[in-house]
Amino acid sequence: MRQIYIQSFFKSGYNRFMNYIYNISSHPQRKVIEKRLEIIKFFDEFGEKATKIAFNKSRSVIYLWKQKIKNLGGKLSALAPETTRPKSFRESKVDHQIKDYVEKYRNKHPGVSKETIYPELKEYCLQNNLPIISESTIGRIIGELKSKGKLPQHQRLSYYARTGKLVVRYRKKIKKLRRKDYQPKEVGDLLQIDAIELFIDGIRRYLITAIDIYGKFAFAYAYKSLSSALAKDFMEKLIKVAPFPIAHIQTDNGKEFHKYFAAYVNSQSIIHFYNYPKCPKMNTFIENFNGLIQRQFVDWHYQELKDDVDSFNVDLIEYLLWYNTKKQHSAIGKIPPLRYYVNTLIKKLNLPSPLATQKSNMLWTSAYS
């Protein structure tokens, strides 16, 4: 039996093969490729039986992987799993009259949901002796019509005062970066930002808030209106007052966190994560802080927020100074956020702690009292 070793694909042997791995660092299936390389190496070193026990992979599978690499001229991308997408699809058996009805309905009422279409479509089917389809099938028909370009794109009308005309503008779909499973590893690694809308005697006021997930440092500022320019102003203030560099931020999909805000964040080399739509649980830390600042400060300064926003912000800064320098936080060891940041900085730089000469707290209370 002739053994086929993967070293034969590389003139300098296995070491050059391992260095070649770095050429796949940007491949979307990188982890799978590296896992298969590990199995091939194990097979060459320990044989068929051990590979079967350790990885449940037969000799024929290993030989198939090696053959793919050989046929592709030694490129490791050959180990990437092939798509499981079927080459042919089952054609829809929905009556063309129903599809025509859905298309006409959506063109007449752009953007309506499948739930809205269903009752009237059901009535149409009963009148014309057509089979009644489900809401899910209506949704699939809408998706099919969109892919074929038979439905209008998402658009809105804009009024231009200079010309006095209404102009149709099509919205461009923005590709947004999601946080997914990313977890902060140090202070300043990830801050959550949110905007609160407050109604006071029919007058609107807005409060933009931010909190560091890891170290609990928080900041907030009030505004009379809300826009991406004012959100940018908030971000500029946040960067100035934060005692640490900001690496990532996380916001919802509000309009205030686009345009000028997004451009400024990008210019500061800060990575911007967006929440998934209608998923406030992704912003739990800032939502908790919003509730806290509402109960402890905003509810006691409503009139001031309504009449004099500048005066409100002065008092708000005083509250935030207490919050960040005095208030104990159980999540970081019952110390204030700034003390926690200083402690982590001292530990990171391996400096002597200024608290080393302090007496133990146990000495403050007599054991016999």
Contact 74, 67 (CB under 8 A): no
Task: Report in angstroms the alpha-carbon separations of 277 from 206, 281, 282.
Answer: 21, 11, 10
The closest of 215, 265, 259, 216 to 239, measured between CA atoms, is 265
Within 10 angstroms of residue 152's Cβ, the number of other Cβ atoms is 13
Residue with tokens 């009556």: 95
Q: What is the pLDDT of residue 368?
A: 38
The token duo for 11 is: 């003139």
Spell out the alpha helix ranges (H) of the chain. Answer: 14-19, 30-46, 48-55, 59-71, 96-108, 114-127, 135-147, 228-241, 259-267, 284-296, 302-307, 309-325, 337-349
86 by DSSP, 3-state: which? coil
- Closest alpha carbon to 79 in 43, 27, 42, 18: 27
How many C-beta atoms lie closer than 10 Å to residue 229's C-beta? 13
DSSP 257: G
Yes or no: say if 353 and 346 are a contact pair by the CB < 8 Å rule: yes
The amino acid that residue 64 corresponds to is L
pTM for the structure as a whole:
0.56
Selection from 107, 99, 146 nearest residue 124 by Cα: 99
The residue to which tokens 């003139």 are assigned: 11
Q: Are 69 and 63 in contact (CB under 8 A)?
A: no
What pLDDT does residue 315 have?
95
* Beta-bridge partner residues of 169: 156
Q: What is the DSSP letter of 175?
A: P
Structure tokens at 161: 């005062």
CATH fold of 191-346: Nucleotidyltransferase; domain 5 (3.30.420)
Instruction: Say which residue the tokens 């042997």 belong to.
Output: 13
Q: DSSP letters of 275-307?
A: PPTT-GGGGHHHHHHHHHHHHHTGGGSHHHHHH
What is the pLDDT tens value at each position of the chain, 369 positions in all? 334 444 454 444 545 554 454 455 667 788 888 899 899 999 999 999 999 999 999 999 999 999 988 888 878 888 888 888 887 877 778 888 999 999 999 888 888 889 999 999 999 999 999 999 999 999 999 888 887 877 766 556 666 666 777 666 666 667 788 888 888 989 999 999 999 999 988 899 999 999 999 999 999 999 999 999 999 999 999 999 999 999 999 999 899 999 999 999 999 999 999 998 877 778 889 999 999 999 999 999 989 999 999 999 999 999 999 999 999 998 899 999 999 999 888 888 887 765 544 444 433 444 333
Tokens of 6: 């993967």
Q: Which residue has the tokens 């996380």?
A: 250
**Residue 353 — φ and ψ, nearest 5°?**
-75, 135
Q: Residue 162 in 3-state DSSP?
A: coil
Q: Where in the chain is the domain with CATH 3.30.420.10?
A: 191-346
